[in-house]
Amino acid sequence: MDVRAELKYCPVSPQKARLVIDVVRGKPVEKAITDLKFMHKAASEPICKLIESAAANAENNFGIDRSKLVISEISADGAPIRKWRRFGARGRFKPILKRSSHIKIVLQDKA
């Protein structure tokens, strides 16, 4: 049984989110949540909430025990980029790109 969840428009760049995702890929849900709570990265909080949401969906909708769930697939893809501006010296324009990401997760029953 596959349980899917998706987080759209997360205000963290995909490159920074992938650093956190690589740590939790393939781990049991309880261990992944524990690791993310003690990680000092900006992307760890929204990814932790996404994993908890997917685990809650599995419990409530499908009746799967939380301790038997494993993260089988997790990925971060690019989302729309907000273009911000900063004005520089001599009337120049310094663009700032505020990147965001779409994060997808698939949990599987390990039993």
Q: Give pLDDT tens digits for 33-64.
A: 999 999 999 999 999 999 999 999 999 999 99
**Six-digit token pair at 7?**
């987080």
For CA atoms 68, 49, 102, 58, give the dihedral sign. positive
* Closest alpha carbon to 72 in 39, 43, 32: 32
Is residue 80 very low, low, confident or very high in pLDDT (cuts 50, 70, 90)? very high
- In angstroms, the CA 94 to CA 111 distance is 54
Supply the pTM of this predicted model: 0.89
Rounded distance, CA 86 to CA 101, Å?
Answer: 23
Going along the chain from its start, the domains and CATH numbers come out as 2-109 (3.90.470.10)
**How far apart are the C-alpha atoms of 13 and 79, rounded to whole Å?**
9
